[in-house]
């Protein structure tokens, strides 16, 4: 049985939402090269979700169609407590829409910047969650390929979910045959830097980097500020390829935690700890992974709560985005425009407001009106 056939046996999540008209837009949460993420409220239930709006034109111009389709495939086919869930995928003439979990704690990156470093207890439970998520992905031959703090979201209870599978790969026997160079520079493994064929081991390397950052507050192979020059980046790559991991003097980390990091940051992929092997490492001897997956641990670190019965507060999100005015016309696009070649965006159904509830204007179909939340004082229920 091939990878595609076996992975198709995973139960798909039933699409709850089929149209942007199911929501009221509240705030912008973030923005990337091809997509913008909004906080939205379900019209019927008032539950909150994250709506990822991807511009078709930009995807096609950058030849990112395969990556866009891959993201939806992973989201639809694999469900796990520590992977973000999808509740709908649809398209109109201009955009693709993904309805995802809203995680009010925002990105792990934000909290790492805020705290500097985490206690060993907090770091260990957080890493345990990542191990379980990677174990699920890897058992289904999915390589994340972009595991980093910006792609790890935190809920109010302190538990995490991995998001953004745009660079993920469903790989035959867990190996990418070829030399596709993708990912984020600071989290690239030696085999990626060498342009070697690579597999699930690259995610385990990235996890090791994140673990080091959580415990010590900086990257293991450089201690520079953001926006490195090309020369500085090249120096970091050289260290990744040639230098062994060292730890800060006078640190309070346990020998077991440092042993775990060394196991994750083995230069040779076959010597590197796999997700399954990580669970058996002595650092996790006192961790019950069944309790972790059931979220039964009361976590030491939780994001500050900014929610109450009548208020939504987004202080865990970058104000450069949350202060942006929502451009409704840009999100909806031209309602009268024909949807060309919708089938190339695999799994994204045509917005049901266009298909089922058209308003006739000439011979064109118009989308149902979408609202913007004008008042922030609302009762809310988080989507979980």
Closest alpha carbon to 193 in 214, 221, 213, 215: 221
Residue 333 Ramachandran class (φ > 0 left, ψ -120 to 50 alpha, else beta): left
56 is known to lie in a ligand binding site: yes
Q: Which residues pair with 51 in a beta bridge?
A: 38, 99
Backbone angles phi, psi at 350, to 5 degrees: -70, 135
288 in active site? no
Can you tell me which residue has the tokens 């039964």?
Answer: 296
CA distances from 6 to 12, 26, 149, 274 (A): 13, 39, 30, 21
Which residues in the chain belong to E strands, given as ranges? 23-31, 35-42, 47-55, 86-91, 95-101, 142-143, 152-154, 160-162, 169-170, 175-176, 198-199, 349-350, 359-361, 364-366, 371-372, 381-382
Cα angle for residues 374, 379, 383 (degrees, 5° grid): 100
- Asked if 120 and 214 touch (Cβ cutoff 8 Å), the reply is no
Q: Which of 94, 101, 146, 203 is catalytic?
A: 146
Residue 376 CA to residue 88 CA, distance in Å, equals 25
Cα angle for residues 67, 73, 76 (degrees, 5° grid): 140
End-to-end CA distance of the chain: 34
User: What's the sign of the alpha-carbon dihedral 217, 222, 224, 226?
Assistant: negative
- Asked if 50 and 127 touch (Cβ cutoff 8 Å), the reply is no
Q: Binding-site residues for ATP, please?
A: 56
Q: Binding-site residues, please?
A: 56
User: Mind telling me the catalytic residues?
Assistant: 146
């Amino acid at each position: 049985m091939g990878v595609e056939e076996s992975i198709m046996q995973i139960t798909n999540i039933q699409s709850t939402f089929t149209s942007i008209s199911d929501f009221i837009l509240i705030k912008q949460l973030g923005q990337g090269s091809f997509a913008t993420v909004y906080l939205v409220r379900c019209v019927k239930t008032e539950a909150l979700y994250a709506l990822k709006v991807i511009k078709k034109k930009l995807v096609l111009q950058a030849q990112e169609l395969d990556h866009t389709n891959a993201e939806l495939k992973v989201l639809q086919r694999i469900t796990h407590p520590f992977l973000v869930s999808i509740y709908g995928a649809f398209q109109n003439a201009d955009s693709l829409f993904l309805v995802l979990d809203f995680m009010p704690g925002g990105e792990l990156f934000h909290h790492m910047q805020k705290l500097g470093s985490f206690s060993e207890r907090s770091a260990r439970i957080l890493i345990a969650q990542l191990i379980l998520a990677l174990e699920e992905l890897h058992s289904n031959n999915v390589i994340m390929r972009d595991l980093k703090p910006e792609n790890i979201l935190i809920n109010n209870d302190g538990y995490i979910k991995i998001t953004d599978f745009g660079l993920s790969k469903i790989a035959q026997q867990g190996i990418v045959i070829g030399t596709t160079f993708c990912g984020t520079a600071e989290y690239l493994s030696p085999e990626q830097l060498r342009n070697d064929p690579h597999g699930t081991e690259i995610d385990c390397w990235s996890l090791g980097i994140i673990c080091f950052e959580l415990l010590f507050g900086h990257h293991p192979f450089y201690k520079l500020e953001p926006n490195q020059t090309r020369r500085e980046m090249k120096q970091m790559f050289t260290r990744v390829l040639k230098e062994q991991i060292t730890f800060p003097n006078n640190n309070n980390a346990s020998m077991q935690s440092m042993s775990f990091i060394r196991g994750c940051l083995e230069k040779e992929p076959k010597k590197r700890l796999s997700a399954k092997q990580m669970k058996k490492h002595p650092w996790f001897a006192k961790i019950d992974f069944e309790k972790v997956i059931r979220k039964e641990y009361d976590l030491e670190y939780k994001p500050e709560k900014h929610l109450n019965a009548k208020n939504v507060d987004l202080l865990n999100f970058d104000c450069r985005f949350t202060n942006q005015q929502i451009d409704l016309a840009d999100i909806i696009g031209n309602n009268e425009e024909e949807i060309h070649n919708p089938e190339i965006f695999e799994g994204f159904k045509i917005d049901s407001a266009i298909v089922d509830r058209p308003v006739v204007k000439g011979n064109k179909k118009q989308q149902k009106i979408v609202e913007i939340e004008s008042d922030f004082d609302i009762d809310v229920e988080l989507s979980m």
